[in-house]
């Protein structure tokens, strides 16, 4: 308890130095190298897939030419293993000279020329998780300035090889250092993931004033079990986590692994829908040069992205767990709209699930229209007491975009508790 108290006091001392960059008012979107390409530095034998400037330039090209950028995927993020094994004679971080011969500044310039943004990786500790030079407390200001001079737009600061007390000093200190550079640099912290992700070890009141987004839990792996473990942890702890998300500060359940090797098409649809309900950052970690058409369609679903990027920034919640192994998630959206996800944990066959909006916490006496996010099908004239059925495939989802088209009266309702209903007229979203 003494350690926890001392860590809290150290962190609280920096509270007044809040992150004031005005960035990431909606969940960030982009591409991140780690899950798909890891720490592959063997450019001799695997030049197409090693961590190199070539890889990041090619992914940036794909974001532009294949329509990702136009949908909001704007960050090209370097993760671990980009550095040389030692700092230079002046103590500066430097990229590996063979894999990044042009330097990070040139890479940033190239990414910027495409209308994209460049993210970079560091570690608050003696070494990165991959064994490369870390950022110790006395190097924070120097490294922040280096990143700014290179034209970096986002920093992910990991926490390998450091202690709780060290992190309580270092993460807020990096906030002040980034502010001091004069460059707007979004800040992703791994701080809570190293402290169990929950209070009292994690002070979310402080964290929301220090970081733009943060990793709460374990790294995602290329498997359905990994996706489920993250969904389970976020759902189990949603009373703590859900209130922390909002414009400029987001819970991060980690990357999208859609397009890799571990998920079926149904499971890929599920990850995209569940991450959207969670108001999660959407960072692709797949090979955009070879991604399948079906995976691309899931990740480029325009209505899905519209929901993810809703300006209210309210994180959704799991509201039901049925004995039938069907779960229901709800996310309130702007203009009295909402998103529903019906998620099947079953592994046998498609399941016909019957319910009504009233059973799903809707109390607004209105007539609703519903649009299926994946098929585009429209259901109109739905009242809250009307029963309806959805057919959900094993490990799959049905996702609805729900919006009122006529108010029958104006009671104080579940949705009114979150925001005042508006009279905006809705139309089906073109998919």
Nearest to 328 by CA among 281, 398, 267: 398
**Phi and psi dihedrals of 110, rounded to 5?**
-65, -45
CB neighbour list of residue 226: distance below 8 Å, 6 or more residues apart: 218, 220, 257, 262
Q: Which of 66, 109, 218, 219 is catalytic?
A: 219
Residue of 96, 158, 252, 254 marked active site:
158
Q: Would you give the end-to-end CA distance of the chain in angstroms? A: 53
Count how many residues are written for the chain.
431
Is 274 in contact with 397 (CB distance < 8 Å)? yes
Nearest to 214 by CA among 175, 176, 188: 188
- What share of residues in the chain are helix, strand, coil (percent, to 5)? 30, 20, 45
Angle ∠(80,84,85) on CA atoms, nearest 5 = 90
Decide if 158 is catalytic: yes
Q: At what angle do helices 53-65 and 104-113 cross, to 10 degrees?
A: 10
> Contact, 207 vs 194, CB < 8 A?
no
Rounded CA gap, 38 and 80, in Å? 8
Q: Do strands 186-189 and 366-372 pair parallel, antiparallel, or not at all (unpaired)?
A: unpaired
Sign of CA pseudo-dihedral 235, 240, 241, 247: positive
Which residues are catalytic, by number? 158, 219
């Amino acid at each position: 308890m003494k350690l926890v108290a001392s860590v809290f006091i150290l962190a609280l001392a920096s509270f007044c130095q809040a992150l004031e960059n005005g960035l990431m008012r909606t969940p960030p979107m982009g591409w991140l190298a780690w899950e798909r390409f890891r720490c592959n530095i063997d450019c001799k034998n695997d030049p197409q897939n090693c961590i190199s400037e070539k890889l990041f330039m090619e992914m940036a090209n794909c974001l532009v030419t294949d329509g990702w950028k136009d949908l909001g995927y704007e960050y090209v993020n370097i993760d671990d293993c980009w550095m040389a094994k030692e700092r230079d004679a002046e103590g500066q971080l430097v990229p590996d000279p063979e894999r990044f011969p042009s330097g990070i500044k040139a890479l940033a310039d190239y990414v910027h020329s495409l209308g994209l943004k460049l993210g970079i990786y560091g570690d608050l500790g003696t070494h990165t998780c991959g064994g490369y030079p870390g950022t110790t407390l006395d190097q924070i200001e120097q490294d922040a300035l280096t990143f700014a001079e290179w034209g970096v737009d986002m920093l992910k600061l990991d926490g390998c090889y450091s202690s709780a007390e060290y992190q309580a000093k270092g993460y807020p200190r990096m906030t002040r250092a980034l502010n001091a550079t004069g460059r707007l640099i979004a800040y992703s912290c791994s701080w809570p993931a190293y402290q169990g992700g929950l209070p009292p070890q994690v002070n979310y009141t402080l964290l929301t004033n220090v970081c733009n987004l943060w990793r709460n839990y374990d790294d995602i792996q290329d498997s359905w079990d990994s996706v489920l473990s993250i969904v389970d942890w976020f759902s189990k702890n949603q009373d703590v986590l859900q209130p922390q998300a909002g414009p400029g500060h987001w819970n991060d359940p980690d990357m999208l692994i859609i397009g890799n090797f571990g998920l079926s098409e149904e499971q890929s649809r599920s990850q995209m829908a569940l991450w959207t309900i969670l108001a999660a950052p959407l960072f692709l970690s797949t090979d955009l040069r070879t991604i399948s058409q079906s995976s691309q369609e899931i990740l480029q679903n325009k209505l899905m992205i519209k929901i993810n990027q809703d300006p209210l920034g309210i994180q959704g919640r799991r509201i039901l767990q049925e004995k039938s192994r069907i779960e229901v998630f709800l996310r309130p959206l702007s203009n009295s709209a909402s998103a529903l996800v019906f998620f099947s944990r079953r592994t046998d066959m498609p399941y016909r699930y019957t319910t009504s909006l009233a059973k799903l916490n809707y109390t607004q006496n209105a007539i609703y229209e519903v649009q299926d996010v994946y098929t585009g099908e429209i259901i109109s004239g739905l009242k809250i007491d009307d029963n309806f059925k959805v057919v959900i495939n094993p490990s799959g989802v049905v996702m609805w975009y729900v919006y009122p088209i006529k108010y029958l009266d104006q009671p104080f309702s579940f949705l009114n508790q979150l925001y005042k209903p508006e009279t905006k007229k809705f139309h089906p979203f073109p998919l």
